[in-house]
Amino acid sequence: MSITAITADGRGSSVPDPEFRQILADVTAWVEGPGEAWAERIEADGVVPDALWDELVDRGFLALAAPRDLGGRGLSFVQWMGLMEVFSRSHASVRMIVHVVNGTWRAMNPFADDRQREQFVKPAVAGKLTVAFTLTEPGNGTGADITSTVRRDGDMYLLTGRKHLITFGVRCDYWLLFARLAGSIGKEGTVALLVDRETPGVVVEDTSQTMGVHGTDHATLRFEDAPVPVDQRLGEEGEGLAVALGGFLTPSRISVAMSCVGLAQRAQQLAVAYATRRVTFGKPLASRQAIAFQLAENEADIEAAKALTLTAARAWQDGEASAPALSSMAKLTAVDMLTRVTDKALQVHGGIGYWKSMPIERVYRDARAQRFEEGTNEIQKTVIARDLLRRAAALDLEP
């Protein structure tokens, strides 16, 4: 990884520790105060109102991770993970907004020219544009096998294909969309395009009715010869997957891992509070060894996942070759940890934890979504095994 690439990804910046601690205190106060009020409203109404987006923009929460030359706050990646840990204790849709907006610029910026940086990247960092990452398709995976195609017609690409499970795909201003040149195969034919939400030839289906993460919109998209200006292509033809995966996927997986840590901390907080105040047969639940041991196991589980996630974060921040595999290890470990912690936390509550009147019910429901975000556990294992076997082959290890 070159120094230029690291700078473009925002890995070369940080803020002084006193400034970071103040930001952390501000974020924590918001999550525990106004954030909880927003969570109740989202669960009641089923939508994230524009007023919440506006508040997040006004507080600067959507520009924390980007470097200062893009209009961001200039936090290092490890510092940003400290804030993601806190944001993830809030409502899942709040976490989703700050995670996506504070990360999408990483995919765009290294490949943007000066005009694109002014027109798209900086407004996205400022919260003036919402850009939806648009890779996943219904009939195949999310890599070199994408089937959405473009064909050149003068200064336009004509886009045809389908995308689904696109977060913010309904309310966005642009889709950061990945397709391939018609007739091409493999990654060499892929392109990355910024597609205007109002482009003709596009059908948007709102598919936001999910088990958890209420309020976040999701879309299925259909394109039929939809015209996209060639000058809205990021990078060169053949660099589409590099845009999608290079500067975005690795840090995003680490961020999701830290999201699991934060949500698990919230589940543990609720379980400890309930076990302390709930009295059965004259004793608080927390005094019973069976309950205390579950809480102890949760605490150890959370700290172990957090340590691995921070190791991956430092590796990516330093441009180490091990970062992609470590990001998958962190995500795999953290999501499995979250499953165990939320299950025990709900069990501590007993039957009452299953009721929507209890905060743990939402946490338990939202936790399940993390198993899919930025790749399933099976994908993470594939990445880890590929790296492990590649290193073994390089060393020519004998059995």
Dist CA 279 CA 287 (whole Å): 10
Instruction: For residues 252 and 386, state if they share a domain.
Output: yes
List Cα–Cα distances, 376 to 134, 335, 359, 364, in angstroms. Answer: 17, 10, 26, 18
Pull the structure tokens for residue 171: 């309310």
Torsion of Cα atoms, 210 then 253 then 194 then 366, to 10°: 20
In this structure, is residue 271 part of a structural domain?
yes
CA 281 to chain CA centroid, nearest Å? 44
End-to-end CA distance of the chain: 32
Tell me the residue type at 52.
L
In this structure, is residue 397 part of a structural domain?
no
Dist CA 115 CA 102 (whole Å): 21
Q: Which of 85, 361, 373, 374 is catalytic?
A: 374
Per-residue pLDDT of the chain (399 residues; tens, 9 = 90+): 444 455 566 676 789 999 999 999 999 999 999 999 999 999 999 999 999 999 999 999 999 999 999 999 999 999 999 999 999 999 999 999 999 999 999 999 999 999 999 999 999 999 999 999 999 999 887 677 899 999 999 999 999 999 999 999 999 999 999 999 999 988 889 999 999 999 999 999 999 888 888 989 999 999 999 999 999 999 999 999 999 887 788 999 999 999 999 999 999 999 999 999 999 999 999 999 999 999 999 999 999 999 999 999 999 999 999 999 999 999 999 999 999 999 999 999 999 999 999 999 999 999 999 998 888 999 999 999 999 999 999 887 555
Write the DSSP symbol of residue 215: B
pLDDT in tens, 326-359: 999 999 999 999 999 999 999 999 999 999 999 9
List Cα–Cα distances, 23 to 19, 65, 72, 175, in angstroms. Answer: 6, 12, 13, 30
Pull the structure tokens for residue 266: 């919230």
Instruction: For residues 252 and 388, state if they share a domain.
Output: yes
Tell me the residue type at 137.
E
Instruction: For residues 136 and 123, state if they share a domain.
Output: no
β-bridge mates for residue 232, sequence order: none
pTM strictly above 0.85: yes
Instruction: For residues 160 and 294, state if they share a domain.
Output: no
Query: Residue 118 is part of a domain; what is its CATH number?
Result: 1.10.540.10
Instruction: For residues 279 and 380, state if they share a domain.
Output: yes
β-bridge mates for residue 196, sequence order: 174
Domain limits for position 10: 3-129
Spatial contact of 70 and 109, defined as CB atoms under 8 Å apart: yes
Query: Residue 323 is part of a domain; what is its CATH number?
Result: 1.20.140.10
- pLDDT, position 298: 98
Spatial contact of 361 and 355, defined as CB atoms under 8 Å apart: yes
Inter-axis angle of helices 34-45 and 92-108, nearest 10: 100
Dist CA 391 CA 386 (whole Å): 9
Instruction: For residues 212 and 302, state if they share a domain.
Output: no
Instruction: For residues 125 and 159, state if they share a domain.
Output: no
Residue 299 known to be catalytic: no
Instruction: For residues 111 and 43, state if they share a domain.
Output: yes
- pLDDT, position 375: 87
CA 154 to chain CA centroid, nearest Å? 36
- pLDDT, position 273: 98
In this structure, is residue 398 part of a structural domain?
no
- pLDDT, position 398: 58
β-bridge mates for residue 151, sequence order: 158
* Among 244, 144, 138, CA closest to 188: 144
In this structure, is residue 330 part of a structural domain?
yes
**Residue that terminates a domain, selected from 105, 129, 153:** 129
Query: Residue 184 is part of a domain; what is its CATH number?
Result: 2.40.110.10
- For the chain, what is the domain count? 3
Dist CA 210 CA 77 (whole Å): 30
Instruction: For residues 123 and 143, state if they share a domain.
Output: no
Determine phi and psi for 266, rounding to 5 degrees: -65, -45
- pLDDT, position 12: 65
**Residue that terminates a domain, selected from 174, 203, 238:** 238
In this structure, is residue 243 part of a structural domain?
no
- pLDDT, position 7: 54
Dist CA 291 CA 278 (whole Å): 12
Pull the structure tokens for residue 377: 């556990």
Which residue blocks in the chain are alpha helix, DSSP H?
Answer: 3-8, 17-32, 34-45, 50-58, 77-87, 92-108, 114-116, 122-126, 240-241, 249-277, 289-317, 323-349, 359-367, 377-395
**Residue that terminates a domain, selected from 215, 238, 261:** 238
Instruction: For residues 223 and 313, state if they share a domain.
Output: no
Tally Cβ neighbours within 10 Å of residue 257: 33
In this structure, is residue 38 part of a structural domain?
yes
Instruction: For residues 279 and 323, state if they share a domain.
Output: yes
Pull the structure tokens for residue 245: 């995966």
Instruction: For residues 154 and 66, state if they share a domain.
Output: no
Instruction: Output the furthest CA–CA distance in the chain (Å, rounded).
Output: 80
